[in-house]
Chains A and B, each alone.
Chain A
Amino acid sequence: MNSETLNTLDSYSKNKYKYGFVTNIDNEKPKKGLNEDTIKFISLKKKEPDWMLQWRLKAFSKWKKMKEPKWANLNFPEIDYQDIYYYSAPKGFEKKPKDLSEVDPKLIETYNKLGIPLEEQKVLAGVAVDVVFDSVSVATTYKGELEKLGIIFCSIGEAIQKHPDLIKKYLGSVIPAGDHSFSALNSAVFTDGSFVYIPEGVKCPMELSTYFRINAENTGQFERTLIIADKGSYVSYLEGCTAPKRDDNQLHAANVELIALEDAEIKYSTVQNWYPGDEDGKGGIYNFVTKRGLCAGKNSKISWTQVETGSAITWKYPSCILKGDNSIGEFYSVAITNNFQQADTGTKMTHIGKNTKSKIISKGISLGKSQNTYRGEVSFLRKADKARNYTQCDSLLVGNRCGAHTVPYIDSKNNTAVIEHEASTSKINEDQLYYCRQRGLSHEEAVSLIVNGFCKQVLQELPMEFAVEAQKLVSISLEGSVG
């Protein structure tokens, strides 16, 4: 990488974007470990009102009494919660690459394959630049347009200060702090994340993406996102990006809550590509995510789409509580595990209202020595008359040292419920590979094509531009694993 080009880009961008500087707000070195002081420190740094601090402390006292959920098919060493920084270290304290030439060339290669522009590569790779262009300007242009419609889209921190009524009403209403230890932990120490409110009857005219606010974030270790779609509104929200992200923090425990009121629809798409560790299984992010949506009103709809390719450990079950009559919950998932990655992911659909419908499409692909588990629970409560679920779980194995597991639970207290379940586990089809190669495609290209075809049902649920990137990402995730 030519550093002169980068310098030119830097100075160019500095002139162009006067709001492009991220000031170093904090020079105090945070301390490791989790106790009440840590939480007070966080709350103080975030200039939070006292009720928020009390909320955190309550969560913390619950956490102290809890143990990590252990039912997942995962293997990892004990997490030492006292050996973690809970307030992201100000960037100045970390050893950062000065320019892209100091970044792992493999990472750069991947960025290039994904077609990520130079300046964004620097941000993603954590190069010590104090300018983030585009994202900022894009954010400001859009912000104006959104404000006109009454849409609130800001960081959770800002929302706590500016929209306390909404926060008090909804934060923790879908994922109570005491739900399990990771939600309690997140509630106590969360620092980053997004807040979205779509007013009654408003269809949000664009995809809302965390990407627009990239400079406002320290790519959160304990992210907290809250999205509220008021009556008759619609929003599509995009989390993450296809570029691989490195983070020094090994433990991630995000919480995402969605609330859809009557006739409202929320579409939430994720591409998760955190650092998965190396070929020998060293390093990588432990990703313990809690995502839950409440279809609170009649005819509401929540749909989760996820493409999970990163992290050493993925523990994640985006769920829907279908409370309103006729409400709909959907879960579309692609999870790819390679090398020594472990994923235990799936969903929970809880049918409470009448005529509620849920649909689950899960595609798991395992390569290398990885383990990939689909875990799903579909339950029908007593009053869920004529509720329906359709579940389709397909697993694809590439090679013979990996594992695929499907664990579906069904619990029905209403005998009018209709449940359809299809599952398949297959090895990558040799005849398909032969066919592709006979046409001149390399073995690797053939695998990537077939796997992309296998995932198509899910990938096509992603917003257009994203779907193309996700396809490339799928191909990249398979690299080096075949032969």
Chain B
Amino acid sequence: MFLEIKDLSVKIENKNILKGLNLNINKGEVHAIMGPNGCGKSTLANVLAGKEDYEILNGKINFKDNDLFDLNIEERAQEGMFLAFQYPVEIPGVNITPFLHSAINSKRKRMNEDEIDNLSFAKLLKSKASDLGINIDMLKRSVNTGFSGGEKKRYEILQMSILNPDLAILDETDSGLDIDALKIVTDGVNKLKTKDNSFLIITHYQKLLDYIKPDYVHVMVNGSIVKSGGSEIAVEIEKDGFQKFQ
């Protein structure tokens, strides 16, 4: 099994957020999670990425034959986990080029691969950026600093396509994108998809799933997954909301 979440319960500041959540993802699969605001979708994403604020009450997570809780944030990232944040943070004064360059090299180092040199990296970054319709001038700016909501999302996808993860978690990457950007971004995702990597896509809109075809759609309510199925579930939700799942 590629990613296996078993009976996961998580609490933050005395509030139980995830309650006995189960989810299995195989290599090459695309999963979508939909659910009302505050049901715990981002919490799940952050627990997977290793954010330290949460208290794990119960459960196990297996990722690529590792006990995920044995790995810290950067080790998970280096093992191929990528989280496109719902709200990417601004890092003033830090340029994307050296930032991503160090990131890709730390991953390569863990995989015992050779580091990529400055020049090749700059080329790679430029070509991926132009694929995603990102202006070269934006590469000169500080990470996320002063970016519009949509620009930040594109930037996340740019980073994803550079780091080429095994498991990409997209937390509402479609929110805030105009229709053209949505096409470009989903195109980026589809290009990256192979039979060896997997996606976990958190979204509120069925629209996204028109562009990225999920193998499974899960409904999350109040900290656990209450229903799983195919794309038809997304259509149902779009029509009737979450009422009947609660």
Residues of A within 8 A of B (CB): 429, 431-432, 434-443, 445, 449-450, 452-457
Contacts and interface: CB of A to CB of B under 8 A. Distances in A.
Contacts of B72: 437
B161 to A, nearest CB: 13
A452 B106 contact: no
B225 interface: no
Contact of B106 (A432, A442, A450): A442
Contacts of A429: 89
Given A435-B89, A439-B163, A449-B98, 20 more contacts: A431-B89, A432-B91, A434-B51, A434-B52, A434-B89, A435-B88, A435-B143, A436-B99, A437-B72, A437-B77, A438-B73, A438-B85, A439-B77, A440-B106, A440-B110, A441-B103, A445-B102, A449-B102, A452-B94, A453-B93
B198 interface: no
Contacts of A453: 91-94, 142
B201 interface: no
Contact of A440 (B77, B93, B143): B77
Nearest to A457: B93
30 contacts: A431-B89, A432-B89, A432-B91, A435-B143, A437-B50, A437-B72, A437-B73, A438-B49, A438-B50, A438-B73, A438-B74, A438-B77, A438-B83, A438-B85, A439-B100, A439-B103, A440-B77, A440-B106, A440-B110, A445-B106, A449-B94, A449-B102, A450-B91, A450-B94, A452-B93, A452-B94, A453-B93, A453-B142, A456-B93, A457-B93
Nearest to B93: A453
Contact of B92 (A435, A441, A454): A454
B193 interface: no
Contacts of B103: 436, 439-441
Interface of B: 49-52, 72-74, 77-78, 82-83, 85, 88-89, 91-94, 98-100, 102-104, 106-107, 110, 142-143, 159, 163
Contacts of B100: 439
Contacts of B99: 436, 439, 441, 449
A432 B89 CA distance: 6
A443 B83 CA distance: 17
Contacts of B159: 439
B82 to A, nearest CB: 8
Nearest to B52: A434
A475 to B, nearest CB: 11
Contacts, number: 74
A436 B96 CA distance: 11
Contacts of B85: 435, 438
* Majority secondary structure, A binding face: helix
B93 A442 contact: no
A404 B211 CA distance: 51
Contacts of A440: 74, 77-78, 103-104, 106-107, 110, 163
Nearest to A451: B93
A457 B93 CA distance: 8
A453 B72 CA distance: 24
A432 B94 CA distance: 11
Contacts of B94: 449-450, 452-453
B113 to A, nearest CB: 13
A368 B246 CA distance: 50
Q: Which of B77, B88, B98, B102 has the most CB of A within 10 A?
A: B102
B66 to A, nearest CB: 15
Contacts of A434: 51-52, 73, 89
Nearest to B76: A438
A274 B72 CA distance: 36
Which among A429, A437, A445, A457 has the greatest number of chain B C-beta atoms within 10 A?
Answer: A437
Q: Which 7 A-B pairs have the closest CB atoms?
A: A453-B93, A456-B93, A453-B94, A440-B77, A439-B103, A437-B73, A431-B89
Contacts of A435: 85, 88-89, 91, 143
A437 B74 CA distance: 5
B92 A442 contact: no
Nearest to A440: B77
B54 to A, nearest CB: 12
A420 B221 CA distance: 51
A455 B106 CA distance: 24
Central interface residue in B72, B94, B143, by most chain A CB within 10 Å: B94
A472 to B, nearest CB: 12
Contacts of B98: 449
Identify the interface centre among B51, B93, B103: most chain A CB within 10 Å of its CB.
B93
A436 B91 contact: yes
A464 B82 CA distance: 35
A450 B143 CA distance: 11
